[in-house]
Chain A
Amino acid sequence: MNFDDTPQEAEFRATARAWIGANAPKQYEDELRKSSLGRTVLKNANILEVAKAWQKRKADAGWACLHWPKEYGGRGASPIERVIWSQEEGPFGQLSRMFIIGHGMCGPTMMAFAREEHKRTYLPPLASGEKVWCQLFSEPAGGSDVAGLRTRAEKDGDDWVINGQKIWTSGAHYSDYGILLTRTDPTVPKHKGLTMFFLDMKSLGVEVRPIKQASGASDFNEVYFTDVRIPDHQRLGEVGDGWNVSLTTLMNERSAIGAAVSTGFPELFEYCSSLMLDDGPAIEDRAVRSKLANWAVKASGLKYTSMRAISALSRGERPGPENSIGKLVAGSMIQDVATYALDLQGASGVISGENAELAGRFQAMLLRAPGTRVEGGTDEIMRNIIAERVLGLPGDIRVDKDVPFNKIPTKGRG
């Protein structure tokens, strides 16, 4: 049992470290380091431009999308090299956030289902960050139940005509392309009538509207489709096989092993270490210590769970299912941590923004946290996944499984 690199890993790490040291945009390092909680914002620069420039620089030197094949803009690196890279990239990895969906979900789906000429055309600029992609799955009527989506695609000559609405699309407002899951046949059960496409987001009839979130910020969008035409050669997979195609996409969603998940714990521990309460230092208060200890072992448990997965990669094995707990644990923890940090501030905890304690860091965390527990699979979906795929418990009983989609009830009450 050890934490040491193998000689090859050490060599790769040294090469990566040297290149990052010589090329990373160091002027933003401090800001990026502090921006681990929710949004990444740079005061005096456009984050989008900085992120694209960094991604392009990486791509030109062969450091973009490490695990992708070289012919599609990657490096053909091993999974463990990808982990080592992300450890070395450190705070600059924050700049990859706008590419996560494209690199983590759209790219792998294109690789598995697009025509060869499309792969060669579209994947390299996706890897280099010159083109940004988004994923158009969720709808008002289909969140956790993605297969309940209603956006229609109807064949018209060699084209498909799209009408409907998507929601919760991250980055649609700055995306060039998207992968789109549609319903092509409403007369068969819901999982059987779906078809996947990719499209140019500048296509006629695509309208992107930002969503104002409960936190007040806008990171997501609604996307409306009105008679949008997509040529049939941009179809991914067979007609009616969209559900299977989407599983490829979704399986890639949370597979970023070794990516640090924010729990809020280091920030809380640091805060409590210097905070004075009415009757003494917070860190010497029995109740505070008990809370901190409980969160400390969750944070360290996640860290070492991730180390176990990395070790499996290092041995050339597939990591076990234990990594599936990360998002579930971290999501509700960051919410609890933020709530407690404000509790420690007493009545003044209500003040948010730049003039609040620590520039409102914990207040911002609290307001962002509900989204963390919903996006990319709700806590409940994550528990279902653990129960079904890890523990082997039966799937939910689905009353709409064999019912034609257009016969499924659409309203609860009245």
Chain B
Amino acid sequence: MNFDFSDDQKQLRDQARKFLAEKCSPKAVRVVLDGKAPYDKELWKGLAEMGFLGVAIPEEFGGAGAGHLELCVIAEEMGRANAPVPFSSTVYLAAEALLIAGSDAQKKKWLPAIASGEAIGTLALFEGKGNPAPKNVKLTAANGVLNGVKKPVADGAIADFAVVAARTGSSGRDGDISLFLVDFKAGGVEVKSLTNLDPTRGQAEITFKDAKAEPLGAAGEGWSILTQVLDRAAVLCAFEQVGGADRALEMGRDYALDRIAFGRQIGSFQAVKHMLADMYVSATLARSNSYYGAWALSTNAAELPEAAAAARISATQAFQHCAKNNIQVHGGMGFTWEFDCHMYYRRANAMALGLGSLSYWEDQLIDRMRKKNAA
């Protein structure tokens, strides 16, 4: 049994960590946090040059042709560094949707551009409140154009194209939904930035007014494709969350070792020690669940839906838990803008909602476990 990453994959993780430590310091993240740039363009370029953006994209489409396990280890480091770039939207959502359902021409057009850092993509699914569900998709597609409003759309304001979920039927079934590709340069797209919990990852409202669109995948297959995309993204995001949780735990641990109160290291108080031990527990459970998700993703196993939901829930909980208690360990200083704790708190809570909320994924997990037991 080797339920672990290979030595090469671990080396890639070290390489990514080193690269991000250099190019994505907290100071660099703060440029975006403070609103001085919509994302870190230099870092994005560097990630393309390192081959990280196209690591799971086949060579024939301009990628490195490695695989999802390689993408998982990079994702972990992106989370650890709190990278202010549209990595998850472009790589986990848009690129994966293209890989699953794109025509050869669509793949040729967009995947090389993603790998080289020239194109930023995203998924436009949500329309206000609510979780992923066919009935929540109201935006319509007819005669090759889309009409409707999507929000929130992650990285929508800096995207070059989007995969858009649209209603093409009214039977009340999953088959009512189809996916479309929209090139923002083709017109009919209005983008408005929205303030959001995590300014290092933008959110937007996108209004489609007779926006030209081409089908992505077969008509009526949209929901089925979307489910697969969300499952893959759930695993990949889980690795970002695991990386973020680990970093928040490390920050808390380091502070507990350095800070003196009542004449002793605060890490010698059991109230603080035990809080940190519990953070380690949730981070470890999340990592192990995520490894299982990675295995299922990389082997395209029948277990992927269940594994993805478990990884999603566990990693979401761990990142939120570690990020909030990291602030608690830091005390008052943890609540300042100056300390980095809040960046992870913001990211953790934004990520907890991005692919649908925790309660949505809890529901999904139970459905999928029941299906497996029935089978």
Contacts and interface: CB of A to CB of B under 8 A. Distances in A.
A interacts with B: yes
Contacts of A283: 366, 370
Given A386-B281, A393-B267, A1 B2 contact: yes
Nearest to B249: A391
B268 A393 contact: yes
Interface in B201-259: 249, 253, 256-257
Contacts of B276: 387, 391, 393
A297 B274 contact: no
Interface stretch (A56-64, A113-121, A299-307): A299-307
Contacts of A301: 284-286, 288-289, 310, 314
A346 interface: no
B1 A2 contact: yes
Contacts of B361: 293
A391 B280 contact: yes
B232 to A, nearest CB: 16
A211 interface: no
Nearest to B290: A304
B294 interface: yes
Contacts of A380: 270, 274
A318 interface: no
Interface stretch (B3-11, B137-145, B190-198): B3-11
A395 interface: yes
A325 B359 CA distance: 26
A29 B288 CA distance: 31
Interface centre among B2, B253, B276, B361 (most CB of A within 10 A): B2
B324 to A, nearest CB: 17
Contact of A310 (B1, B257, B359): B1
Nearest to A388: B273
Contacts of B267: 387, 393-394
Contacts of A160: none
Interface residues of A, number: 50
Given A1-B6, A386-B277, A292 B366 contact: yes
A202 interface: no
A5 B1 contact: yes
Interface string B266-307: 011010011011101100111111011011001000000000
A322 B288 contact: yes
A43 interface: no
Interface centre among A286, A298, A300, A312 (most CB of B within 10 A): A300
Contacts of A310: 1, 3
Nearest to B278: A383
Given A293-B313, A294-B313, A325-B280, A304 B369 contact: no
A340 to B, nearest CB: 15
B362 A290 contact: yes
A311 interface: yes
B363 interface: yes
Interface residues of B, number: 48
Contact of B1 (A3, A293, A325): A3
B277 A289 contact: no
Contacts of A303: 288
Contact of A273 (B268, B270, B373): B373
Interface string A242-285: 00000000000000000000000000010001000000000100
A9 B2 CA distance: 12
B91 interface: no
A322 B280 CA distance: 9
Nearest to B284: A322
Contacts of B32: none
Interface string A319-345: 000100100110000000000000000
Interface in B1-38: 1-6
B291 A308 contact: yes
A122 B101 CA distance: 68
B78 interface: no
Contacts of A289: 362-363, 366
A383 B273 contact: yes
Given A301-B286, A325-B284, A1 B291 contact: yes
Contacts of A314: 1-2
B373 to A, nearest CB: 7
Contacts of B273: 383-384, 387-388, 393
A322 to B, nearest CB: 5
Contacts of B256: 393
Contacts of A384: 270, 273-274, 277
B265 A1 contact: no
Contact of A307 (B1, B257, B274, B369): B1
A304 B366 contact: no
Contacts of A5: 1
B264 interface: yes
B295 to A, nearest CB: 5
A4 B1 contact: yes
A300 B368 CA distance: 14
A384 B359 CA distance: 32
Interface centre among B273, B291, B317, B363 (most CB of A within 10 A): B273
Contacts of A3: 1, 3, 295
B291 A304 contact: yes
A100 interface: no
A14 interface: no
A399 interface: no
Given A1-B2, A1-B295, A304-B291, 14 more contacts: A3-B295, A290-B363, A293-B362, A293-B363, A297-B289, A297-B313, A297-B365, A302-B285, A303-B288, A307-B1, A307-B288, A310-B1, A387-B280, A395-B268
17 contacts: A1-B4, A1-B69, A2-B1, A2-B295, A273-B373, A290-B359, A297-B317, A301-B285, A308-B288, A325-B280, A383-B270, A384-B270, A387-B267, A387-B274, A388-B273, A391-B277, A395-B268
Which are the 7 A-B pairs with shortest beta-carbon distances? A301-B285, A293-B362, A304-B288, A387-B273, A383-B277, A386-B277, A393-B267
